[in-house]
Structure 1
Amino acid sequence: MSKDKLTDSKLRTAKPEAKEYSLGDGDGLYLRVKPNGARLWVFNYYRPSDKKRANISFGPYPDVTLAAARERRRESRALLAQAIDPKRHKEEQLAIVQAQQEACANTFERMAAKWLDLKRHDVSEAYAADSWRSLELYLLPFIGSMPIDQIRAPLVIELLRPIEADGKLETVRRLCQRINEILDYTVNHGLLDANPCSAIRKVFKKPAKKHMPTLKPEELPLLMSDIANGRLDHTTRCQIEWSLHTLVRPGESAGTRWDEIDMEAKVWNIPADRMKMERPHRVPLTPQALALLERVKPISGHRPFVFPGYRDPLGHINDQSANAALKRLGYGGRLVAHGLRSLGSTTLNEQGFNPDAIEAALSHADDNEIRRAYNRSDYYEQRVIMMSWWSNHIEQASQGNLSLASGFKALKVVGE
């Protein structure tokens, strides 16, 4: 007969009693039989750290057989011989397995989707859709299913090289930016210690800077004539003229909110979260700009946005509506909505206005970091004068084709 105290037949016939009892197999291995009929393997040992008794469960019988329980006892005693606590060792192994499972679940595609869900709050739906399309086209088929902690710079660079070879340098730049945003998001959520691709953009050629299509200052009268006589709906025309008088970016213009407008102080306060440079921006409102607001107030004064959307009146006009309208007017390839800012900048610089005030009006950051740190002025008082000149200049350029701003002022005078 075996020297071991337990046998399979003895285990099978072990019946529950009124109180819990144990059947020993030697060397610290026991089978606990509970009153409810449950039978659990327990290994009792001295902890290496403090020499106090401790228990570790090996699981229920018969799921864990006698042979399996003895093997686990042997493994535990081998660990104890190395002064390793088997219970703590088991917990550490489970933690490793769990971390590996989580790492496998946190694929590049999954983290990219989480990143985009967050980014949707700050960008237009069109921009979000374009971001995801670029990932689907160039990255997800190759690294989408890869755990995020396995992403390495050489692999990503290798994927982007053919795109660079095709001359799509702007696409490469945007992909580098999106990859870094995704990995930074992952770092910030504790799933990576560091972003391994933070410097990948440095190994690619830089795309040549393309200036937004715009007009020469002397072409402003023709533009105002085309805007006045073109087949544009009222909201779009108002938004184009508003952009021209305020010199803000198209997205900032399209998203103008009534609660940002201070009619009494004649200022438009754009919050930081709506600005490209993520800092608040004040726009002095000229009489012409205020007249435009009066024009649209009957349409949208009871709604959140000054320029309401067509499909969703509680939303705002699409960021691209102005570009589409200018294209319909025959300015495709010659002028985009963003180019209105360049037109204003060129004109104001030619008229000798303070370049710093012009840059402040455009909400540009100073390229000189030291100067930017010390120069906190937004040149507001200078801009009040400058923007007044600019709005008067636009009105004069309208010639016989009244802009909505000047036309409304004329109507008010007649009515008085």
Structure 2
Amino acid sequence: MPKVALTDAFCRSAKPHECKLTEFADTKERGLSLRVTPQGVKSWTFRYRTAANEQKRISLGRLDDVSLAAARAAVVAERARVHAGQDPAAVRKAAKQEAIETSRLETVAEVGIRYFSEAAAGRHRPNARQKRQSTLKSERYYFDRHVLPRLGKEKLSDLTRARVQALVNAVADEHAPSTARQCKVVLHGIYSFGIWQEIVVLNPCQFVTVPQFQTRERVLTDGELGVLWRALRDVQKADGVYVSHSVSVAILLAAVTLQRRAEITGMRRSEIDREARLWIIPGKRTKNHRTHIVPLSPLAIELIDEAEALAGGSQYVFPSPRKTDEPIGPSALSHAFRRVTAKAGLVGIRPHDLRRTGATALTSERLSVSRFLVSRVLNHASDTGDTASVTGIYDRNSYLPEKRRALEAWAGELNRITSCPASNVVTIR
């Protein structure tokens, strides 16, 4: 292979030796060569050795399309990949295979499965972050349970808005409005992924109507709080109510700290700073992806101590009874809550109502905490306290003293409510 200081003029006039395929190696950029076929077709090639010492070659395009300067720049980039341990030929082959597989995706089932796979890696839309496993698990449930049986074999490009609307209406009638909403959300995400990957050109979900979300306003009375608290404390003695001690403590802790189900159930021992009496929830576990610091009242510390004694050596405060290296799921709280409240005769309340009840008590006349501070306790990132939204970006004050006073006042109120005997207290048996 002749070595030449390649120039634009040389490349234009280069001819093959003895009418055979000839390569002219560039003396400036190692690995770059100009190939000239007997028919006069000229193209660039890059030769390299992999980490396994295999010699390989990739094409960089024809001279008519890629200039000498561009070819040299391409070689610099490819050589950097080789030094980083990559194999440019293998990368190209994988990309080509992926393109072939993507071009074959047609049905709702095929595109949906690829969507969930890519969402787990954060490649389901431009500039996306990885979807949380809990979110993927929830979306996959609605996809497998409701979308696949009805539309799985249909081509994604063949579905019309009317077909999607019919699915949503049927699910709402047969199951629940909330289930119908989730089915639309999943299909909308799949179609957005399909458009981005050029599998389809339109998203028929765009104008599909779903039952409106009904905002809940349920707030527990003091009497109901007392009944619930005592029911959770006595649940181990109740006949026909199967709720573990750990789960009952988790519900009580949710009532005391006013944090979300998933944040409670996923609590790790490492998140608890006992000396400072703080619970530091990392951003990867919060709804708004921001680290949230929760001051712990003496009542909260007492409940955490009780839970850790039950957890054994697990890193989680509320480990799964089947896999101690995993936490219990948020749904476990909902199922247990439903069983306990049914036995205690409490109607129409859910675990999330505890947050609303606590927030309402904090802003009431008896505790007089500002709504802005309550939003900080609840970790509502959208509340800027009647200031410009940009202020929230720069204001990283966590309001720890104020939040501590608020949560300790709420814990004190809970102690008062749950320790006072009431005529409507029900003992579950």
Say yes or no: TM over 0.5.
Answer: yes
Shift of 1:324: 2.2
Contact 1:173–1:201 (8 Å) recurs in 2: no
Contact 1:186–1:192 (8 Å) recurs in 2: yes
Within 5 Å, which residues of 2 pair with 1:239-388?
A: 239-300=250-311, 302-331=313-342, 333-350=347-364, 351-366=367-382, 371-375=388-392, 376=395, 377-388=397-408
Matched, 1:140 2:140: no
- The separation in 2 between residues aligned to 1:294 and 1:97, in whole angstroms, is 54
Contact 2:263–2:285 (8 Å) recurs in 1: yes
Shift of 1:44: 6.8
Within 5 Å, which residues of 2 pair with 1:163-174?
A: 163-166=167-170, 168=172, 169-174=177-182
Contact 2:316–2:326 (8 Å) recurs in 1: yes
Which residue does the alignment assign to 1:158? 162
What amino acid sits opposite 2:348 in the alignment?
Answer: R
What amino acid sits opposite 1:113 in the alignment?
Answer: I
Which residue does the alignment assign to 1:229? 234
Give the one of 178, 191, 196 matched to 2:197.
Answer: 191
Which residue does the alignment assign to 2:190? 182
Contact 1:176–1:201 (8 Å) recurs in 2: no
Which residue does the alignment assign to 1:207? 212
- The separation in 1 between residues aligned to 2:264 and 2:178, in whole angstroms, is 25
Moved more, 244-253 or 370-379: 370-379
Distance 1:130 1:105, change over 3 A: closer
Shift of 1:110: 2.7
Matched, 1:113 2:113: yes
Moved more, 326-335 or 264-273: 326-335
Moved more, 125-134 or 236-245: 125-134
Which residue does the alignment assign to 1:67? none
- The separation in 2 between residues aligned to 1:203 and 1:129, in whole angstroms, is 21
Give the one of 213, 221, 231 matched to 1:216.
Answer: 221
Contact 2:266–2:328 (8 Å) recurs in 1: yes
Contact 2:318–2:328 (8 Å) recurs in 1: yes
CA RMSD of aligned residues (A): 3.8
Shift of 1:365: 3.2
What amino acid sits opposite 1:103 in the alignment?
Answer: S
Unpaired segments ≥5 residues, structure 2: 1-18, 20-36, 44-94, 121-130, 237-242, 422-429
Which residue does the alignment assign to 1:66? none
- The separation in 1 between residues aligned to 2:347 and 2:199, in whole angstroms, is 46
Per-residue deviation, residues 335-390 of structure 1 (Å, max 9, x unmatched): 22111111111211213211011112112232689833323454332111000001
Shift of 1:242: 0.9
Shift of 1:321: 2.1
What amino acid sits opposite 2:227 in the alignment?
Answer: L
What amino acid sits opposite 1:261 in the alignment?
Answer: I
- The separation in 2 between residues aligned to 1:285 and 1:205, in whole angstroms, is 40
- The separation in 2 between residues aligned to 1:314 and 1:53, in whole angstroms, is 62
Contact 2:278–2:294 (8 Å) recurs in 1: yes
Distance 1:267 1:131, change over 3 A: farther
Distance 1:261 1:212, change over 3 A: farther
Distance 1:379 1:131, change over 3 A: farther
- The separation in 1 between residues aligned to 2:144 and 2:359, in whole angstroms, is 34
TM-score, normalising length: structure 2: 0.61
What amino acid sits opposite 2:388 in the alignment?
Answer: R
- The separation in 2 between residues aligned to 1:260 and 1:140, in whole angstroms, is 42
State the structure with more CA Rg. Answer: 1
Give the one of 404, 407, 411 matched to 1:391.
Answer: 411
Shift of 1:317: 1.8
Distance 1:115 1:281, change over 3 A: farther
Contact 2:316–2:327 (8 Å) recurs in 1: yes
Shift of 1:193: 8.9
- The separation in 1 between residues aligned to 2:313 and 2:201, in whole angstroms, is 47
Per-residue deviation, residues 64-121 of structure 1 (Å, max 9, x unmatched): xxxxxxxxxxxxxxxxxxxxxxxxxxxxxxx999967741246542332233342462
- The separation in 1 between residues aligned to 2:349 and 2:269, in whole angstroms, is 28
Distance 1:321 1:269, change over 3 A: same
Distance 1:294 1:113, change over 3 A: same
SS, match of residue 269 in structure 1: strand
Which residue does the alignment assign to 1:71? none
What amino acid sits opposite 1:366 in the alignment?
Answer: S
What amino acid sits opposite 2:332 in the alignment?
Answer: S
Q: State how many pairs are aligned.
A: 307
- The separation in 1 between residues aligned to 2:200 and 2:277, in whole angstroms, is 47
Identity %: 20
Distance 1:120 1:355, change over 3 A: closer
SS, match of residue 250 in structure 2: helix
What amino acid sits opposite 2:311 in the alignment?
Answer: S
